[in-house]
Every structure is written in C-alpha cells, then in structure tokens.
C-alpha cells in the first residue's frame, strides 16, 4: 500500500467513526426530546399516540439511561465504551492517591541527620585530593618527558611516520601534566593553611557549645513532646544553628551545617565527646 492510499484509508475510517457517532447522538436526541415510543417493542410513534398498536403497552416519551446505553451498544458494538466507575468510587480513589502522594512527599522532605553538612567539603579533604592529583600529574609528566628524551636520542626504538611531530606533541602533553601537577600542589598547600584556620575555628565553636548548649533547655524551647524523631532533629538543628549564627557572625553556612551535624548534635544530645 502506498503512502497516499494509507492516508486516504485513515481519513475514510475517521469519517465513518464520525458519522456513526452523529447517528448515536441523533438516536439519543430522538429518545429524549419527546418522541413517543414503545418500551417493549421499541417502536416509535408520532405525537398523539399513547398505546402501542402491536402489544398494547403504554407509550413513553423518555428512554431510561440504561436502556439508551444498551440500544446504542446493540446498534454500534464497535464503538462500545467500557463502563466507568461511579463518581463516589472515583472520588474515593482520588482521595487515596492524594493521601499516598502526601505520605511520599512527607517521607522525601523529612530531614535526615546526615543531610545538613554532607554538601560541604572541608579544606583538609580538598587539600588531600589536590595533593593526590598533583603527585599523579607530576609522575606522569616526568615519565613522559623522560620517554621523549630517550626516544629523541635513539635509546627507545620508537618508529613513527613523523618523529618530530610525535615527540613535539608528547613533549607538550608531558609539560602540561607537570604544570598541572605544580598548580595542584600549590592548591594543596593553600587548603592546608585554610584547614588550620578551620580547625582553630572549630575548636573555638566547640568550646562555646560546651559552655552554652544544654539538651534539656533546647528540648524545652523547641517543643520535644509528641513529635517524631525526624521533626525533633530538625527543630534542634535549627535552634542550634540560629543561636550560633547570633553569637558568631559571618560563618560559612555550609561549614556550620556540617560542624553541627558531625560534632555538636552528638555531643549535646548523645553525650559523645569530640
């Protein structure tokens, strides 16, 4: 079948469906608009008749909904639509879906103890990462330069179509590795110094927490009775953070979140000495 024939066939089928739906609507309108008909013989009569001439049944002017649906299904079975749920059932199912969605949303938004400071990476970790990268780049760059020199003087039997181009590219890459390693090593030293400052600040903050934070007082202020453990943690965390921000200005909030999560909370509420 060609593309044109296929398009024509699709449009023809759509036209047939449209015409059948119009016939269905016409049948429904005739039954509802007041045309007398016999509910037993299904025979229609003109206005003025009240009794069926065939069976003697009394004529009616409106077809019940169920019978109207049945007649449509009998006339056009290919257009039959499955029965749907009642409005009450649909409303009840929708309420259950909303409740389950709310429960899932609450579960996703509940604060977890490890969520506050996991986004912050302290300077000691960053210094370690930069130092590892620096040593790797320096080693690779140095080995590459040695290979280039040995190949250029003929010690390494490297046969390439254009040795000057090959050694030039290899030498440039090796030098780039060495430079990157030097930069990473400088960054590691920078973060080492920053880590010392963070450690000093951490000691100061911890000393203040030992003197000013009490578990009973905090629970009394945040309302610890009748709440879940997750909500209680969130309230305690927020109270401690607000109090520390009030005492120490210009603190890095990522650093503070992780500090409270890793040190302060366990010390205050679980008695773990840091």
3-state secondary structure 157-202: CCCCCCHHHHHHHHHHHHHHHHHHHHHHHHHHHHHHHHHHHHHHHH
Burial of residue 233, with CB atoms counted within 10 A of its CB: 0-12 exposed, 13-18 middle, 19 or more buried: buried
Mean pLDDT, rounded, of the chain: 75
Q: How high is the pLDDT of residue 148?
A: 87
d(CA 254, CA 214): 23
d(CA 118, CA 255): 10
Q: Which of 47-56, 168-177, 181-190 has the lowest mean pLDDT?
A: 47-56
What residue has token string 């639509």? Answer: 81
Model pLDDT for residues 110-145, shown as the tens digit of each residue? 444 444 444 677 888 899 999 999 999 999 999 999
CA 191 to each of CA 147, 156, 160, 251: distance values in angstroms, whole numbers, following the listed order: 33, 40, 43, 18
Of residues 199 and 79, more confidently modeled? 199
The three-state DSSP-derived secondary structure of 5-41 is HHHHHHHHHHHHHHHHHHHHHHHHHHHHCCCCECCCC
Provide mean pLDDT across the span 240-252.
90
- Read off the pLDDT band of 186 (50, 70, 90): very high
Tokens at 107, concatenated? 């579960």
- Read off the pLDDT band of 109 (50, 70, 90): very low
HSE of 251 in the Cβ direction (CA atoms, 13 Å)?
A: 22
Q: How many residues in total does the chain contain?
A: 274
CA 232 to each of CA 37, 62, 210, 212, 248: distance values in angstroms, whole numbers, following the listed order: 72, 65, 21, 20, 24
* Contact (Cβ atoms closer than 8 angstroms) between residue 176 and residue 216: no
Model confidence, pTM: 0.46
d(CA 255, CA 90): 50
Provide mean pLDDT across the span 42-47.
72
């Amino acid at each position: 079948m060609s593309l044109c024939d296929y398009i024509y066939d699709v449009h023809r089928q759509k036209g047939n469906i449209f015409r059948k739906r119009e016939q269905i609507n016409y049948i429904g309108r005739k039954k509802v608009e007041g045309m007398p008909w016999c509910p037993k013989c299904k025979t229609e009569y003109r206005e003025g008749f009240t009794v069926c001439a065939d069976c003697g049944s009394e004529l009616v002017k409106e077809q019940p909904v169920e019978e109207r649906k049945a007649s449509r299904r009998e006339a056009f079975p290919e257009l039959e639509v499955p029965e749907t749920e009642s409005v009450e059932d649909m409303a009840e199912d929708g309420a259950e879906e909303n409740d389950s969605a709310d429960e899932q949303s609450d579960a996703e938004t509940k604060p977890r103890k490890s969520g506050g400071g996991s986004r912050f990476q302290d300077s000691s970790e960053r210094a370690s990462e930069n130092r590892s990268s620096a040593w790797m780049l320096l080693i690779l760059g140095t080995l590459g330069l040695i290979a280039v020199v040995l190949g250029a003087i003929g010690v390494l039997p490297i046969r390439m179509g254009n040795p000057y181009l090959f050694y030039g590219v290899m030498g440039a890459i090796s030098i780039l590795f060495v430079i990157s390693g030097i930069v990473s090593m400088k960054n590691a030293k920078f973060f080492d110094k920053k880590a010392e400052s963070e450690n000093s600040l951490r000691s100061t903050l911890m000393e203040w927490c030992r003197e000013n934070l009490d578990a009973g007082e905090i629970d009394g202020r945040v309302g610890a009775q009748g709440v879940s453990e997750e909500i209680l943690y969130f309230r305690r965390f927020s109270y401690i953070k607000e109090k520390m921000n009030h005492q120490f200005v210009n603190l890095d909030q990522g650093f503070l979140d992780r500090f409270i999560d890793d040190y302060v909370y366990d010390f205050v509420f679980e008695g773990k000495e840091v």
